[in-house]
Amino acid sequence: MNKILELRMIVPNMHLIKIEAPDISKKVKPGQFVIVRPDEEGERIPLSVADWDQESGTITIIFMEVGASTSRLASLKPNDYVATCVGPLGNATEIKYYGTVMCVAGCYGIGSIYPVAKALKGEGNKIITVFEARSSYLIYWLDRFVGLSEKIFTITRDGSSGYKGHVKRLPDIIHGLSQLPDIIIVNGCTYLMAQTSNITKDLNIPTIVNLNPIMIDGTGMCGVCRVTVAGKMKFACVDGPEFNGHEVDWKEFLARRKAYMEEETLFFRRSEPESKLHKEGKCQV
C-alpha cells in the first residue's frame, strides 16, 4: 500500500502520478521501473520511473491511459493508496561520458527519458533532445529539457511544431547536425523505438531502447517479458529493460506486446497497420 500524493492529467490521456515510496526513492536509478497494482483486483503494471526525491521519499511516474488497468489507475485520487508499488526493477542506464547523446522520446517516454538525460548531462554529455508527438499540445515537461539540452527538436504529425510528420523525419534532424550523435537513446512506444532503431542501424549510430513488454512479477519469475535480442532469449525485466535497439527482434516483440489486446478494454479498433495507428496517435504499445 503506497499513498498517492499527486495524480493529474498533464496532457490528454497522459497522467502524472506521485507516490510515497521511501525505499524505492533511495534506490532508483535512471532507466529503471516499478510495478504498480492500482487496487486489489488490479493487474500488475510495469511503469518507468520519471523522477524521484529521496528527501520526501516519493517517486513520480508518467503513464498513458491505454486499457482497463491504466484507466483504473488514472481513476484514483490523491490520498488514495495503490495496492502495490514495488521496485526499483530492471537494470539502470549506463551513465557515463559518451560525447553527444541524442534522446528521442514520445508519449510516456518523455517522462521516463528525463532522468536519463539529466544524469547523462551530469556526466558532461552534450544532450540533443527530440520529441515526437501527434501535435504540439501533447508535449510536456519541455521546461525540464530546456536547461539540459543543447538543442531541442520536435516532430509533430500535424506540423503544429517543428518538423511535420513522424519518426521517419529523424534522418532529416540527424543530418542537419554538425556531427553524428555518439549514441541515441529512445523511450516511448514500440513503433517509435523500432523505427528509430531501423533508421540508426543504417547510419551506424549505437542505439539504446527501453523495452516495455507485458510483465507480471518483474523479477524473472514468469518469463512473459521474454524478447529475442541478438538471436538469444532475454527477459526484459532482469536482463533489460534497456537493449541495443539494433539487436531486438521487433516483429516478435510487437506481436508479443499485442497478445492481450482483445482482452483489454479497447478504446480503439486495432485492425489498421501499426504505422497508421502511430500517425494517428493510437499506437498504445
Partner 1 sequence: MSEEKIEKTSKIDLDRTEMPKQPPEIRRHNFNEVALGYTEELAIKEAKRCLQCKKPRCKTGCPVEIDIPDFIACIVKGDFSAGIKKIKEKNCLPAVCGRVCPQETQCESKCILASKKGEIAIGRLERFLADWEAAQGKIDLPKKAKPTGKKVAVVGSGPAGITVAGDLILLGHEVTIFEALHRPGGVLTYGIPEFRLPKAIVAREVEYIKMLGVNVITDFVVGKTRSVDELLEEFDAVFIGTGAGLPWFMNIPGENLNGVYSANEYLTRMNLMQGYRFPASSTPVKKHTRVAVVGGGNVAMDAARTALRMGASEVRIIYRRSHAELPARLEESENAEEEGVIFNMLTLPIRYIGDENGWIKEIECIKMELGEPDASGRRRPIEIPNSNFIIPTDAVVCAIGNSPNPLVPSTTPGLDTTRHGTLVADPETGKTTRDRVWAGGDIVTGAATVILAMGAGRKAARSIHEYLMGK
How many Å is the Cα radius of gyration of the chain? 18
Map residue 22 onto helix, strand or coil. helix
Q: Which stretch binds partner 1 (CB under 8 A): 35-43, 103-111, 160-168, 179-187?
A: 35-43
* N-terminal to C-terminal alpha carbon distance within the chain: 28
The contacts of residue 203 (CB under 8 Å, 6+ apart) are 171, 174, 180
* Residue 181 interacting with partner 1 (CB under 8 A): no
Pairing of strands 51-53, 58-64: antiparallel
- Residues 247, 229 contacting (CB under 8 angstroms): yes
Query: Among 251, 266, 272, 280, which residue sits at the site for partner 1 (rule: CB under 8 A)?
Result: 251
Q: Which stretch binds partner 1 (CB under 8 A): 64-72, 110-118, 143-151, 161-169?
A: 64-72
Size of the site for partner 1 (CB under 8 A): 40
* Residue 87 interacting with partner 1 (CB under 8 A): yes
Query: Among 13, 60, 84, 156, which residue sits at the site for partner 1 (rule: CB under 8 A)?
Result: 84
Cell numbers linked to 216: 507480471
* Residue (of 186, 197, 141) closest to 14 by Cα position: 141
- Residues 171, 91 contacting (CB under 8 angstroms): no
Mark residues 117-156: x for contact with partner 1 by CB under 8 A, - for none. ----------------------------------------
Closest contact distance (angstroms) between CB of 220 and partner 1 is 5
Query: Among 5, 10, 76, 86, which residue sits at the site for partner 1 (rule: CB under 8 A)?
Result: 86
- In the bound state with partner 1, the residue whose beta carbon lies nearer, of 92 and 152, is 92
CA distance 140 to 144: 9
- Residues 25, 13 contacting (CB under 8 angstroms): no
Tell me whether the omega of the peptide bond preceding residue 88 falls within 30 degrees of 0, making it cis. Answer: yes
- In the bound state with partner 1, the residue whose beta carbon lies nearer, of 42 and 165, is 42
Closest contact distance (angstroms) between CB of 24 and partner 1 is 7
* Residue 15 interacting with partner 1 (CB under 8 A): no
* Residue 83 interacting with partner 1 (CB under 8 A): yes
Closest contact distance (angstroms) between CB of 114 and partner 1 is 22
* Residue 277 interacting with partner 1 (CB under 8 A): no
Rounded to 5 degrees, φ, ψ at 261 are: -55, -40
Element spanning 58, H or E: strand 58-64
CA distance 185 to 210: 8
- With 0-12 CB in 10 A as exposed, 13-18 as middle and 19+ as buried, what is 261? middle
- In the bound state with partner 1, the residue whose beta carbon lies nearer, of 148 and 222, is 222
- In the bound state with partner 1, the residue whose beta carbon lies nearer, of 11 and 229, is 229
Query: Among 263, 269, 271, 273, which residue sits at the site for partner 1 (rule: CB under 8 A)?
Result: 263
Mark residues 195-234: x for contact with partner 1 by CB under 8 A, - for none. ---------------------xx-xxxxxx-xxx----x-
- Residues 138, 131 contacting (CB under 8 angstroms): no
Q: Applying CB under 8 A, which residues contact partner 1?
A: 23-24, 27, 37, 41-44, 68-69, 72, 83-89, 216-217, 219-224, 226-228, 233, 238, 249, 251-252, 255-256, 259-260, 263-264
